[in-house]
Amino acid sequence: MTEQTYTAIVTGAGRGIGAAIAQRLADDGMAVACVDIDEASAGAVAARITDSGGRAAAFGADISDADQVEECVAQVASSLGAPTVLVNNAGVLRDNLLFKMSESDWDTVMQVHLRGTFLMTRAAQKHMTEAGFGRIVNLSSTSALGNRGQANYAAAKAGLQGFTKTVAMELGKFGVTANAVAPGFIVTEMTRATAERVGQSFEEFSANRVAAIPVARPGQPEDVADAVSFFCSPRAGFVSGQVLYVAGGPRT
Ligand code: NAP
């Protein structure tokens, strides 16, 4: 198979890192299903891709809902082609120090990151095993190594690394690889919201983060998209079960 025959699903494709990944995989020649809970934002990203000559379509789905996931993956298969690439990118934050963290803060983060990734992967893998080829990339985070105020998110992002390695072991014999990309500080709506929550201007928040980054700049969504592109490519067939930190240094 070549990239021109791949259909890729990118979750949380309506903005930020997901939008950059969708654009990059389309630039690589893939047909891209832009999935987001906000169908309008996914539609705008898909329109940008098609306007620039690529192949894309938008699908609205909440990835934590099993029925919506099954229906979404079936729709992608019938309209764009059987998905053989899946990028589990959709995510949410519900940051708080542990003593103030509500059960709802905990559950929401687990539902989207862990349950959502599980549901999407389970639904998409049947198309990959049938094709004898597949690429799964899960978005982890440097927060998987621990981060103050993110007990829920750190647990989910560390959990995704274990999930990734297990999927790599189970599906490798069908030609399917699974890898994780773990970004550090990337400029998106998510990090803008974090700056607001801690009461800093984004400029101040960004400068503080950059001070600890060896390459001395914030990450951009395209930095993450480049790493995802490699894992999704035909050239990455012997790379599986790995976690690549895309953080401008070992763990910042
Ligand atoms: P973002 O700007 O908040 O975008 C996330 C997207 O996911 C949004 O479009 C959001 O839709 C969508 N989404 C949320 N819940 C969903 C659900 N249940 N079903 C479908 N779509 C859903 O975040 P980002 O910064 O691009 O982050 C993308 C991924 O990278 C996340 O997994 C995040 O944890 C990870 N990451 C980010 C950073 C960083 O510095 N930005 C660092 C490490 C890891 P709405 O617009 O409706 O909310």
What CATH number is associated with residue 34?
Answer: 3.40.50.720
Residue 139 alpha carbon, nearest atom of ligand 1: 32
The number of angstroms, rounded, from the C-alpha of 156 to the middle of its chain's C-alpha atoms is: 13
Residue 119 domain-assigned (yes or no): yes
Distance 224 CA to ligand 1 centre (A): 13
Q: Is 91 in the pocket of ligand 1 (CB under 6 A)?
A: yes
Q: pLDDT band at residue 2, thresholds of 50, 70 and 90?
A: confident
Residue 39 domain-assigned (yes or no): yes
Residue 88 alpha carbon, nearest atom of ligand 1: 32
Residue 251 domain-assigned (yes or no): no
Q: Is the pLDDT of residue 4 over 90?
A: no
153 is catalytic: yes
Distance 151 CA to ligand 1 centre (A): 17
Spatial distance between the Cα atoms of 248 and 107, rounded to a whole number of angstroms: 31
Question: Which residues, including other chains, have CB under 8 Å from residue 203's CB and lie 6 or more apart?
Answer: none
Which pLDDT tens digit goes with each residue over 95-150?
A: 999 999 999 999 999 999 999 999 999 999 999 999 999 999 999 999 999 999 99
Residue 235 domain-assigned (yes or no): yes
Domain hosting 156: range is 3-184+219-244
Spatial distance between the Cα atoms of 222 and 244, rounded to a whole number of angstroms: 15
From the list 157, 162, 209, the residue with the least C-alpha distance to 186 is 209
With b meaning 16 or more CB within 10 Å and e meaning fewer, what string describes 111-127?
Answer: bbbbbbbbbbbebbbeb
Q: How many CB atoms lie within 10 A of CB 133?
A: 19
Q: pLDDT band at residue 1, thresholds of 50, 70 and 90?
A: confident
Residue 63 alpha carbon, nearest atom of ligand 1: 19
Tell me how many degrees the CA angle 18-240-182 measures, rounded to the nearest 5: 40
R_g of the chain computed on alpha carbons: 17
Q: Is 83 in the pocket of ligand 1 (CB under 6 A)?
A: no
Residue 194 domain-assigned (yes or no): no
Mutate to test the pocket of ligand 1, among 95, 160, 190 (most ligand atoms within 8 A of CB): 190
Residue 191 domain-assigned (yes or no): no
Residue 193 domain-assigned (yes or no): no
Residue 249 domain-assigned (yes or no): no
- Strands of the chain, DSSP E: 7-11, 31-36, 55-60, 83-88, 134-139, 176-183, 243-246
Mean pLDDT score, 197-220:
97
Q: Is 248 in the pocket of ligand 1 (CB under 6 A)?
A: no
Spatial distance between the Cα atoms of 158 and 164, rounded to a whole number of angstroms: 10
Q: Whose CA is nearest to atom 31 of ligand 1?
A: 91
For 200, the token pair is: 């800093």
Considering the candidates 106, 118, 133, 153, report the single residue annotated as catalytic.
Answer: 153
Distance 173 CA to ligand 1 centre (A): 31
Q: Is 191 in the pocket of ligand 1 (CB under 6 A)?
A: yes
Spatial distance between the Cα atoms of 112 and 90, rounded to a whole number of angstroms: 7
Q: Is 218 in the pocket of ligand 1 (CB under 6 A)?
A: no
Domain count, the chain: 1
Distance 120 CA to ligand 1 centre (A): 15
Which pLDDT tens digit goes with each residue over 140-182?
A: 999 999 999 999 999 999 999 999 999 999 999 999 999 999 9
